[in-house]
Structure 1
Amino acid sequence: MGTPDPKEGLQRWLYEALRLAIVSGRLPGDSVLPGTRTLAQQYNLARGTVAAAYEQLLSEGYLVTRTGSGTRVSAVLPDQRHPAKPIPASSTAANAGFARESHAPWIKRLKENDPPFPLSGANALPQPFFPHRGDIRLFPIDLWRQLHVRQLRPSRLLTLNDTSPAGLPALRAAIADHLAIARGVRVPLEQIVVIGSVQHALDLCMRLLTGPGDTVWMEDPGYVGARQIMHASGAHVVDVPVDQDGLRVHDGIRDAPSAALVYVTPTRHAPLGVPLSNERRAALLRWAAANGTIIFEDDYDSEYCFRSHPLPALRSLPGADQHVVLAGTFSKLMFPSLRLAYAVLPPRLVEPFVRAASLTVRSASGLTQAVLADFLGEGHFDRHVRRTRKIYARRAHVFERAAQKHWQDLIEVQPAIAGLDVVGRLLSVDEHTAVQKLKAAGIDAAPLGRYTQRHRHQPGLVMGFAPFNEEEIDRAAQQVAAVLREAA
């Protein structure tokens, strides 16, 4: 059948190749076709692609199925039954579908940017210095397994049933207790909703609070996934600059005084690492209260402060309970595939948010929620965070020391006082060259330009240190130095 044409879809290519082989007689009537799995392996295709091509040929009469004898070529072809003039490819139903899809807002907007999350190879361990990740090797997996087994006792089989789209009450109560101690946020469990990710919480808020053309604020530079959700929703995104004191609130008020929603990472900015100053926190809350705006607070990396106590959440300030959605995740603190997060909502948003969550994903895994409730309630989570905080603080120090030792005149690294990553300013090589050369050498740092939209910063790299031990950090730092010196 030849090789796929990159200009057409794989399913369309396979369908056309099989139809031509049947019509030309190379696949004679009543001949047996290979199974979908066999053909998929032979041409390195997804099995679903082969099955879809077979289904189309079956529906058009080129193939028939017989119980016990597989899929065969029809003895009488549809072309022989109903001769007709060829139909131009541009007017076929499939191409009409493609034309419609090309104008679908979500498809069109998602094609404009690379996705912020990996679409393949996500199970691999990160390479130095991949950012925004903890070290899964530190997670107490044996303890987690014991808690999981306990939930599967016959006396607890109700955990296998559906749970409320708002989340398991026991987990919501445990989250409320944790937030009161760790983030200074006192809230009844009825205002907490368990979701799969902070990304999901933002998506639901955009659907509930904005319409096409409504204005929203986005930090610039800022979290790529948040910006893409905002663009995909059809909102008008106003990029508000960030400096050493965090989001420049007065710039946002000047440029978009009637914004419906603001996305902000006030405890530790993503990716620059700076906190939002107290003065700007107060100014943002005053404006939101006067304007009726919702502030979406992404509690990014708040648990990992190495040289001081973390700032309290913006949601903990007086009057914030009516205007701030606080969202945080357990997936980064424990392990990425956990896929459990929470949103603390203003009272008026609880019912519509829960209804929207029920409609879009129904609910997160009740079994995993029950295990996490025990993990939190019995103190295991706090112990895990305290332990990893010490380890990451030591690795942050090792990273700083390695940067000072190996990267003189190459990269200027900010002090790693919090979080899982830092920004290194490039001194001698441009971002594109640095990233390409480092990638080829097995170093996976992210360009700062990926996070910026309009307000450009000095070229730099966002570099993670948390998933790597001391030996790995020093060895990779030497590799970085060798690559960049050669490039320079």
Structure 2
Amino acid sequence: MPPRKSPPQVVLLPLGQPEPGVSLQRWLYEALRSAILGGRLPAGSKLPSTRALAEHYKLARGTAQAAYQQLLSEGYLDAQTGSGTRVCAVLPDATLNAGYVRRKVVAQVDTPRTPPATPWIERLDAITPIFARRPMVLGLRPFFPHRGDTQAFPVDLWRKLHIQQLRASRLSILLDSDPGGLPVLREAIAGYLAIARGVQVPAERILVLNSVQQGLDLCLRLLVPGESQVWMEDPGYPGARQLIDVSGVQRVDVPVDAFGIQVEEGVRLAPNARLAYITPSRQAPLGGELSPARRLALLQWAAQHGSYIFEDDYDSEYRFVAKPIPALRSMPAAEQSVILAGTFSKLLFPSIRLAYLVLPAHLLESFTRAAALMSRHANSLSQAVLADFIDEGHFDRHVRRMRKLYAARAEAFSEAAQRHWQGLIEVPEIRAGMDIACNLLEVSEQDAFARLQAAGIDVLPLASYCVKARAAGLVMGFAPYDERAVEDAAKAVAVALR
């Protein structure tokens, strides 16, 4: 009988050099874990003592001991008196480890696979998602649209409210919560809507979500059967258009003019549409308001056909020439057919990821159950902090302060355009919002976009919002940029386009 082989003895395995900014303990832990998962330290392998390892790599012995201890606690190593420290025969999370090995060790020889040809994947392949993955941007170049000034947000106050929520007596906030949203936040939103948007609604009819996109997705799943039709503004918000496209329903593009969506044209094109996506308070991206006559016509169409209206109320609070106009949902005839969607990402900061729907009573149960199934609930801690932020008056003060700040920057933007863009770009009156759709007068849209990108100026072509061709234009933002930045960027735009 052949002698039994003893486990291989590992003397001092080459582990590479630590990356800049990574602690020595973290480097040693990750290097040893990678060696274990990659097979360079097979099961049963004996590791050198912490003293020998520390001396060889010129580390403090405490660093080696801490790395070993972490690997022991996670189940990668086993230490027994008399036999030293060895690699465990069975590693934790075998499935995860196998995936780790594939990525780190044999990814270069892995055979590529083609995604399955499911309808969703096929429809996704046909578009370039507006929310495509991209590296984190620390600063936005003028005149990137759809962004507020996060530097002006009261971070210290927000931190203080967070600390208050994390007191020992309040730690239940870290548990699962109501899938419809924290009652205290729904009450706060209901109070805000009554004052700021003219919408009188019980708190129980408000559903707290992560985003308006999630709310629209719920509507498409629950209210639009099969290949039914959905009205979409043209031009309109690309994120909504793409979500409608991948959902498998039939999108009907309804033209928009200075008075909002042309309801008569929508009725002519698709009278039996199940849903209409609209931005009535400030049309995205043209900026107009839906006229009173069209509001009534839209509500009448929905009532007659049993259809629903998705009202995206994305930044209506930032209105400079007068008080914000009431939401469409505030009209008495809207209660049964209008689903009002609002977000705090525009009003506070994008990463808060909190939004809400105001639902007709007969939809509340099904929408809440679907939201619970898809995402359990929105972040409870952020909900609680936001509720305090609203109830203590900070939200109202912040919005009023930002409205004044953005109005000043809109004026600076318009004045800089008058000084530098004569004959190049026409800037309409800026009545609200954080950006404006401008008209190109001489240079083509494609040429202007390429020139501005080369000059370090970020804009979006108006064509990216359109299905049917329109006059050349650019959507340009002003909210995050102070007067000096606006002036310097305006000069750069003029140089690039001339």
TM over 0.5: yes
Which stretch shifts more, 353-362 or 468-477? 353-362
Determine the structure 2 residue equivalent to 1:466: 479
Which of 132, 135, 139 is 1:125 aligned to? 139
- Alpha-carbon spacing, 1:223–1:67, altered in 2? closer, same or farther (3 Å): farther
Aligned to 1:364: 378
CA distance in 2, matches of 1:187, 1:35: 63
Q: Distance in 1 between matches of 2:16 and 2:466?
A: 45
1-structure distance, mates of 2:308, 2:45: 60
Indicate the larger mover: 240-249 or 434-443. 434-443
Deviates further, 113-122 or 402-411: 113-122
Q: Residue 152 in 1 paired to residue 169 in 2?
A: no
CA deviations 1:104-160 (Å, max 9, x no partner) are 122221222211125122342211000011100110111111111000111111111
Cα gap change, 1:68/1:379 in structure 2, threshold over 3 Å: closer, same or farther? farther
The amino acid across from 2:241 in the alignment is: R
2:346 aligns with one of 332, 343, 348: 332
Q: CA deviation at 1:430?
A: 1.0
Query: Which structure 2 residues correspond to residues 64-103 of structure 1 after superposition, within 5 A?
Result: 98-99=113-114, 101-103=115-117
- How far off its partner does 1:68 sit? 5.7
CA deviation after TM superposition for structure 1 residue 402, in Å = 0.4
Return the alpha-carbon distance in structure 2 between the equivalents of residues 282 and 118 of structure 1: 37
Q: Secondary structure at the match of 2:342?
A: strand
Task: Pick one of 120, 135, 158 that aligns with 1:106.
Answer: 120
SS at match of 1:266: coil
Deviations 1:279-306 (A, max 9, x none): 0000000010110111000002100010
Matched residue, 1:478: 491
Q: Distance in 2 between matches of 1:188 and 1:317?
A: 15
Could you say which residue in structure 2 is the equivalent of 1:425?
Answer: 439
Report how far residue 439 of structure 1 moved.
Answer: 1.1
Q: Which residue of 2 aligns with 1:353?
A: 367
Distance 1:164 1:146 in 2: 24
Is 1:342 the counterpart of 2:356? The answer is yes
1:248 has 2:283 as partner? no
2:162 maps to 1:161? no
Q: Which residue of 2 aligns with 1:208?
A: 222
* 1:257 and 2:271 aligned: yes
Find the aligned partners of 2:402 and 2:438 in 1 and give their Cα distance: 23
Partner of 1:17: none
Deviation at 1:94, TM superposition (A): 6.8
Percent of matched pairs sharing the same residue: 55
Q: 1:236 to 1:406 in 2, by over 3 A?
A: same
CA distance in 2, matches of 1:36, 1:108: 43
> Aligned equivalents of 2:322 and 2:310: distance in 1?
25
In the alignment, which of 206, 228, 243 is matched to residue 242 of structure 2? 228
TM normalised by structure 1 equals 0.81
| Alpha-carbon distance, 1:212 to partner | 3.3
Q: Residue 322 of structure 1 aligns to a residue in which SS? A: coil
Partner residue in 2 for 1:22: none
One-letter amino acid of the structure 1 residue matched with residue 216 of structure 2: L
Mapped to 1, the partners of 2:249 and 2:286 lie a distance apart of 25
Secondary structure in structure 2 of the residue aligned to 1:342? strand
Provide, for residues 380-423 of structure 1, a one-character-per-residue CA deviation record: whole Å limited to 9, x for no partner. 00000000100100000000000010000100011111000001
User: Is the Cα contact below 8 Å between 1:211 and 1:234 reproduced in 2?
Assistant: no
Q: Is this contact kept in 2: 1:194–1:364, CA < 8 A? A: yes
Which letter does structure 1 place at the counterpart of 2:443? V
Match for residue 446 of structure 1? 460
CA distance in 1, matches of 2:18, 2:233: 50
**What is the aligned partner in structure 2 of residue 410 from structure 1?**
424
Q: Of 311, 332, 335, which aligns to 1:318?
A: 332
Q: TM-score, normalised by structure 2?
A: 0.79
Distance 1:292 1:146, change over 3 A: same
- SS in structure 2 of the partner of residue 319 of structure 1: helix
Q: Identify the range of structure 1 (162-171 vs 112-121) with the bigger mean alpha-carbon deviation.
A: 112-121
Between the aligned partners of 1:429 and 1:260, the Cα distance in structure 2 is 41
Q: Distance in 1 between matches of 2:197 and 2:43?
A: 62
Q: Kindly indicate whether residue 182 of structure 2 is the aligned counterpart of residue 173 of structure 1.
A: no
Q: Secondary structure at the match of 1:103?
A: coil
Distance 2:43 2:454 in 1: 50
Specify which of 451, 470, 477 is matched with residue 457 of structure 1: 470
Secondary structure in 1 matching 2:286: coil
Q: Is contact 2:314–2:346 with CA below 8 Å preserved after alignment?
A: no
Equivalent-residue separation in structure 2 for 1:122 and 1:239 (angstroms)? 33
Higher mean displacement: 354-363 or 113-122: 113-122
Structure 1: tracts of 5 or more residues without a match? 1-29, 40-50, 73-92
* More off after superposition, 179-188 vs 429-438: 429-438
User: SS where residue 267 of structure 2 aligns?
Assistant: helix
**Distance in 2 between the 1:67 and 1:171 partners?**
55
Q: Do the aligned residues in 2 keep the contact of 1:212 with 1:233 (CA within 8 Å)?
A: no
Does the Cα contact within 8 Å between 1:426 and 1:461 map onto a contact in 2?
A: yes
Q: Residues of 2 paired with 1:218 and 1:34: CA distance?
A: 60
Q: Residue 204 of structure 1: CA displacement?
A: 1.0
Residue in structure 2 matching 1:267, options 255, 259, 281: 281
- Paired residues of 2:423 and 2:442 also in contact (CA < 8 A): yes
- How far residue 442 of structure 1 moved from its aligned partner, in angstroms, is 1.1
Structure 2 residue 441 is the aligned partner of structure 1 residue 389: no
Q: Assess if the C-alpha contact under 8 Å between 2:320 and 2:432 holds in 1.
A: yes
CA gap of 1:193–1:463, structure 2 versus 1, over 3 A, is same
- Cα distance in 2 for residues equivalent to 1:258 and 1:103: 31
Name the counterpart of 1:305.
Answer: 319
* Mapped contact 1:163–1:363 kept (Cα < 8 A): yes
For residues 126 and 419 of structure 2, the distance between their equivalents in structure 1, rounded to whole angstroms, comes to: 41
The number of residues matched between the two structures is 418
Moved more, 455-464 or 169-178: 455-464
Q: Which residue of 1 aligns with 2:94?
A: none
C-alpha distance in 1, partners of 2:196/2:132? 31
